[in-house]
Amino acid sequence: MNTSNKIALLILALLLAVIPGTHAQQQTTDQTFFLTFVPNVQFSPVYVALEKGYFADAGVNFSLEYGDEPDGVARIGANQLKFGVISGEQIILARATGIPVVFAYEWFQRYPVGIVVADDSGIETVEDLTGLKVGIPGRFGASYSGLTALLSSAGMTEADIQLEPIGYNAPEVFCVESSGLDGAVVYINNEPLQIQRRAEAGECGDVTGVRVISVASAADMVSNGVTTNEATITDNPELVQGIVSAFDAGLRDAINNPAEAYLLSAVYVEGLLTDEQTTIFEAEAAQQAEFLATNPDRAAIAESRVAMRARLLEQLESDELVQFDVLLDTIELWDAEQLGVTDAASWDVTQEVLLTTGFLENSIDLTGAYTNAFVED
């Protein structure tokens, strides 16, 4: 090979080395990340981590799969999938049957369930619900666990209230006077918003506003988090660290710049933004990025989210901000001084609730159910 050819090959090699993404693409493996429910703005940290290349930087090209949580648990436990978002309750129930799933990063710092009541009802505490009619999707899942935790915190049981299964229709049923509901168990980051909007439109009987009694105000239960399995932790801890760090980066970005997170979520959530709305949110995202460059503290960032919403309301109708409001309310459930950390006391509380509901027959050793080993200080 002559000198000119050698130089040409060297230049080509150097060019390939500096082309953005070339090395990452060669090292990236295809995997599936499991999510429950359907595409939704509440999954924005995942969308941010995908769109900003955080997962790719960790060596993984994720496709997303949405499905029923028990199916995701089974497949992650069998190592058919390596990562997904699973609730703490399902982790405990799975491990009780020998499924080796492990909770590696606590996403929701506050349990997202509560009881919504009319703000002029005089109901301010769980005890005030004694003898009253409370709607619930059914005696299953996070809603029932959350209700059980609230009742237990007040020394009450289900027998102390009139529990009425209503399906996942709280906004509709609560606003029908003939339902006779005094309260309803809801997901507090979206259903109270829906009921409030109905009330403001005069479509909720005599209800003019609502208040929420949250589970988190009475009990620190484990909600959703990034989950893997024992085999992946043992065989490839570097991969687990990479995915946890990537998710953490996506979550921080979503908390700090919800306008950007909303824009990136629109890639995955159909019909989230019109062209006009996109332009407005792009301007907000850019303004927030400039603000973040000043290294504001957590309190200042929280205030900036409120200001952002106010500016958006000057340019858009409130109806156009419904899903953005859901994102903002959900951020309040994620935000914490230290993200990702889970603690033993929360797991003990969650297990006790599962025992009380009867979902779990006997307590288990929880030490293997979760780890903070991959959460950065």
User: Tell me, what's the pLDDT at 177?
Assistant: 81
Which residues have a Cβ under 8 Å from the Cβ of 339 and sit 6 or more positions away? 109, 248, 251, 252, 375
Give the residue extent of every domain in the chain: 113-217, 256-334
Angstrom distance (rounded) from CA 54 to CA 59: 9
**Residue pair 340/375 in contact by the 8 Å Cβ criterion:** yes
Angstrom distance (rounded) from CA 184 to CA 134: 5
Angstrom distance (rounded) from CA 158 to CA 147: 9
pLDDT along the chain (377 residues), means of 10: 36 36 60 96 99 98 97 98 98 98 99 97 97 97 97 97 96 90 97 95 94 97 99 98 99 99 98 98 99 98 99 97 98 98 98 98 98 92
User: Tell me, what's the pLDDT at 76?
Assistant: 99
User: Tell me, what's the pLDDT at 199?
Assistant: 94
Angstrom distance (rounded) from CA 82 to CA 73: 10
Q: Which residue's entry shows tokens 């109901």? A: 123
User: Tell me, what's the pLDDT at 74?
Assistant: 98
Exposed, middle or buried: residue 318 (CB in 10 Å: 0-12, 13-18, 19+)?
exposed
Q: Which residue's entry shows tokens 């288990």? A: 364
pTM: 0.91
The CATH architecture assigned to 113-217 reads 3-Layer(aba) Sandwich (3.40)
Angstrom distance (rounded) from CA 262 to CA 269: 10
